[in-house]
């Protein structure tokens, strides 16, 4: 049965069609927000996947180029690998949805979103987020929803609900907030030093709007929702836990996990597991459940230690940061490098500078091909956690962590006019035990300064964790969580910023939301920590950007010419500019507004190229002195090339003070001579004299 539901959302109509398409999916919502159209579906397998101890959820976001009237590039002319934007959208949808599925659910679930039409005033990412929640809520898949999402922008200090694409891209805030009926469940933000108080206000304005959307979803579910299906629970039997505690007492498990060295803890748990395997050798059913059971036993032990005893596994105080260290210039010959260490988390970031022509072209669901001047790439090799695994390129996690660091640093980069470089930073994870993404922000800030990038202010990042009890008031916020506290805790709240304000937030949780006091305490605790990291560690290591770029980095001369003269510099089929490049070994880029960037490592050659460009675009007047080479000899005189593609003639009578019969008596091809400009002859050519040079 086809039903259509509508509500007004931020001044535009949101319409949801149910039963119109996708009838064989467990749940399908055909979403329309303005002229943006997204098909959102939720499907689940009939039976649980065997042999796994996790919930197999897949979230997809498909960008169809026909949605913006484009044909994809490439040989095949069809959509291929998911774009970075698609990957990041999948992650933002996944994070609030995953905690709302039953923890013991092992059926495969796929949440798919297909973007079919894009209205620049209504972002497809937001439409997909809402469509996913609605499709899952009306399906028969077990789900403790609804949840809803709202985005908030800021232009000229004014908050804008669900901003257009232009407002989102150009504004000072890009905030996405997901909520359940009672609490905030996900936060993601990029910001231009937004103060904590403003950020919290924006978060809870989004939360209020989410509650209105949830009422709308409740109406849809009441009318067309399916009963939730029964499923085979994969929960660990309580009798297994009871028997495990007889063999390995809670005190023994606490002793096993209570260490600040990850490798020691892992060896302790290996010995605990071996002891339990020996005890259950005759019980195949319990042996199969043992890995997950040991994990759950560790989790309960760590949570009890933290929440009830205020003891962290490595012995730190609740608000204490692990030991910190920082250094720069550890990698020779690169343009800039820095390493930041926090406990057993260690990141090395290398900065590379290049001319603006090296900017990354990003072809997506936009009217034009976009360019990224700053690229942050994050790598997480298996050796960083003591594992062996073949590298298959960056996964969604690596892409997400790189984008988070990029978002944190972009507001602090200098303008293209002040620093005409494309910039790439690569964060290599040497060792990992929690919050490598925030360590990469710290390392990248120092690497950029070491490379001579005049960033406006240094940026640092930190992650706060959470352990909750049985009530909303029973909780503990942890500063600087390590891996174990992330795995067994309820929250990973990452905040990056300067001394003045926030530049990025990413919040992941495993419970059904956070109360406002928890959000406020986490943001406040993160500010204290990042100020400490900046003041005590990063700035003593490198206090400000170096005044010049590295000797190994390309140098850039920027000059402005009349846009009408661009054709003269380029020449017919690029002949003129290519000649300059061949003669000097530099790289030259020219923008439509007449900005010429000359890039190279040899300053003398760069200066020569700049002089040649200047000569080409200059309208010479009589009396000006030039230099050039003899490129052609005729009976009546010689032609002098004073710049690539630019020639003037010296009449035979103007070559020497005395009378000569043949040009060849004085000049030969290739001679380098000084000439004085006489103006233009009857044919419009530049006329020169050699004999009148003073």
Task: Give residue 366's pLDDT.
Answer: 67
Q: Are 211 and 181 in contact (CB under 8 A)?
A: yes
Share of the chain above pLDDT 90, in %: 61
Q: Which residues contact 517 (CB under 8 A, 6 or more apart)?
A: none
555-617 CATH:
3.30.1370.10
pLDDT confidence band for 367 (50 / 70 / 90): low
Q: Are 466 and 473 in contact (CB under 8 A)?
A: no
Per-residue pLDDT reduced to its tens digit, 374-419: 999 999 999 998 888 888 888 999 999 999 999 999 999 999 889 9
Token reading at 131: 């469509």
Q: Which residues share a beta bridge with 171?
A: none
DSSP code per residue over 564-612: GGHHHHH-GGGHHHHHHHHHH--EEEE-TTSEEEEEES-HHHHHHHHHH
Closest CA to 65 of 124, 134, 15: 124
Task: Give residue 547's pLDDT.
Answer: 95
Per-residue pLDDT reduced to its tens digit, 635-654: 889 998 888 878 888 889 88
Q: Are 359 and 347 in contact (CB under 8 A)?
A: no
| Mean pLDDT of the region 656-668 | 88
- pLDDT higher than threshold 60 for residue 563: yes
Query: DSSP strand E in 138-223: where?
Result: 148-155, 158-161, 173-179, 184-194
| Mean pLDDT of the region 439-456 | 98
Hey, what CATH class is 625-689 in? mainly beta
Q: What's the mean per-residue pLDDT of the chain?
A: 92
CATH superfamily to which 324-465+523-541 belongs: GHMP Kinase, N-terminal domain (3.30.230.70)
Integer Cα distance of 270 and 258 in angstroms = 14
pLDDT confidence band for 490 (50 / 70 / 90): very high
Task: Give residue 477's pLDDT.
Answer: 95
**Higher pLDDT among residues 567 and 221, named by residue:** 221
Q: Tell whether the torsion through CA atoms of 286, 291, 296 and 297 is positive or negative.
A: positive
Q: Which residues contact 630 (CB under 8 A, 6 or more apart)?
A: 638, 639, 640, 667, 668, 669, 670, 671, 673
pLDDT confidence band for 112 (50 / 70 / 90): very high
Q: Where are the domains of the chain?
A: 3-149+201-224, 238-309, 324-465+523-541, 555-617, 625-689
Among 22-31, 226-235, 677-686, name the one with the lowest average pLDDT: 677-686
Integer Cα distance of 583 and 119 in angstroms = 49
Cα dihedral 242, 247, 251, 252 in deg (nearest 10): -140
| Mean pLDDT of the region 260-272 | 87
Q: Which residues share a beta bridge with 557?
A: 598
Q: Which residues contact 463 (CB under 8 A, 6 or more apart)?
A: 434, 435, 437, 438, 480, 481, 486, 492, 493, 494, 495, 526
3-149+201-224 CATH:
3.30.230.70
H or E element at residue 46: strand 36-48
Token reading at 45: 């397998």
| Mean pLDDT of the region 49-62 | 92
CATH topology of 3-149+201-224 equal to that of 324-465+523-541?
Answer: yes
Regarding beta strands 587-590 and 12-18, do their DSSP bridges make them parallel or antiparallel, or are they unpaired?
Answer: unpaired
pLDDT confidence band for 505 (50 / 70 / 90): very high
Which range is most confident: 134-138, 481-485, 679-683?
Answer: 134-138
Closest CA to 643 of 619, 669, 678, 679: 619
């Amino acid at each position: 049965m086809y039903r259509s539901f509508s509500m007004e959302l931020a001044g535009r109509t949101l319409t949801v069609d149910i039963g119109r398409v996708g009838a064989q999916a467990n749940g399908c919502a055909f979403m329309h927000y303005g002229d943006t159209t997204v098909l959102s579906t939720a499907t689940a397998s009939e039976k649980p996947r065997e042999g796994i101890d996790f919930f197999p959820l897949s979230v997809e976001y498909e960008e169809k180029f026909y949605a913006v009237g484009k044909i994809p590039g490439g040989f095949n002319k069809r959509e291929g690998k998911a774009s970075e934007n698609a990957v990041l959208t999948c992650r933002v949808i996944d994070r609030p949805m995953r905690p709302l599925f039953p923890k013991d659910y092992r059926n495969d679930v796929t949440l798919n979103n297909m973007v079919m039409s894009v209205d620049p005033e209504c972002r497809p990412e937001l439409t997909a987020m809402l469509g996913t929640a609605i499709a899952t809520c009306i399906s028969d898949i077990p789900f403790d929803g609804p949840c809803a999402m709202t985005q908030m922008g800021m232009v000229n200090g004014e908050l804008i609900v669900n901003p257009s694409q232009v407002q989102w891209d150009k504004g000072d805030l890009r905030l996405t907030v997901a909520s359940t009926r009672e609490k905030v469940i996900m936060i993601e933000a990029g910001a231009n030093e937004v103060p904590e108080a403003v950020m919290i206000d924006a978060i809870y304005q989004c939360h209020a709007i989410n509650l209105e959307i949830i009422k709308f979803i409740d109406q849809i579910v009441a009318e067309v929702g399916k009963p939730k299906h029964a499923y085979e629970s994969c929960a660990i039997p309580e009798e297994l836990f009871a028997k495990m505690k007889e063999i390995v007492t809670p005190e023994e498990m606490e002793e096993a996990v209570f260490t600040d060295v990850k490798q020691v803890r892992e060896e302790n748990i290996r010995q605990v597991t071996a002891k339990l395997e020996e005890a259950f050798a005759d019980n195949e059913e319990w042996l199969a459940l043992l890995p997950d059971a040991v994990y759950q036993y560790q989790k309960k032990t760590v949570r009890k230690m933290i929440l009830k005893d205020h003891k962290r596994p490595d012995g730190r105080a609740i608000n204490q940061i692990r030991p910190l260290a920082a250094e720069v210039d550890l990698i020779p010959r690169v343009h800039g490098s820095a390493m930041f260490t926090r406990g057993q988390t260690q990141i090395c970031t290398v900065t590379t500078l290049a001319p603006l022509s090296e900017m990354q072209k990003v072809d997506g669901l936009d009217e034009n091909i976009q360019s990224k001047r700053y690229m942050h790439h994050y790598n997480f090799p298996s050796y960083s956690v003591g594992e062996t695994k073949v590298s298959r390129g960056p996964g969604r996690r690596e892409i997400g962590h790189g984008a988070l660091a990029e978002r944190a640093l972009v507001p602090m980069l200098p303008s293209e006019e002040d620093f005409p470089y494309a910039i790439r930073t690569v964060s290599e994870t040497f060792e990992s035990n929690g919050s490598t993404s925030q360590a990469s922000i710290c390392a990248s800030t120092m690497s950029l300064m070491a490379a001579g990038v005049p960033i406006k202010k240094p940026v640092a990042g930190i992650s706060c964790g959470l352990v909750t009890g049985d009530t909303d008031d029973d909780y503990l916020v942890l500063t600087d969580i390590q891996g174990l506290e992330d795995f067994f805790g309820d929250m990973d709240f990452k905040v990056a910023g300067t001394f003045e304000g926030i530049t990025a937030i990413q919040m992941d949780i495993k419970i059904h939301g956070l109360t406002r006091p928890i959000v406020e305490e986490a943001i406040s605790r993160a500010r204290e920590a990042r100020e400490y990291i900046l003041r005590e560690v990063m700035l003593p290591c490198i206090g400000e950007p170096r005044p010049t770029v590295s000797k190994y980095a390309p140098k850039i001369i920027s000059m402005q010419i009349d846009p009408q003269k661009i054709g003269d510099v380029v020449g017919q089929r690029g002949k003129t500019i290519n000649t300059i490049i061949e003669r000097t070994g530099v790289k030259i880029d020219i923008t439509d507004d007449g900005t010429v960037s000359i890039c190279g490592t040899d300053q003398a050659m760069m200066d020569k190229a700049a002089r040649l460009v200047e000569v080409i675009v200059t309208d010479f007047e009589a009396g000006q002195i030039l230099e050039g080479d003899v490129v052609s000899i005729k009976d009546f005189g010689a032609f002098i090339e004073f710049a690539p593609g630019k020639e003037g003639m010296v009449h035979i009578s103007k070559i020497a003070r005395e009378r000569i019969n043949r040009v060849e008596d004085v000049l030969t091809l290739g001679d380098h001579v000084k000439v004085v400009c006489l103006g233009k002859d009857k044919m419009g050519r530049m006329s020169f004299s050699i004999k009148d040079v003073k």
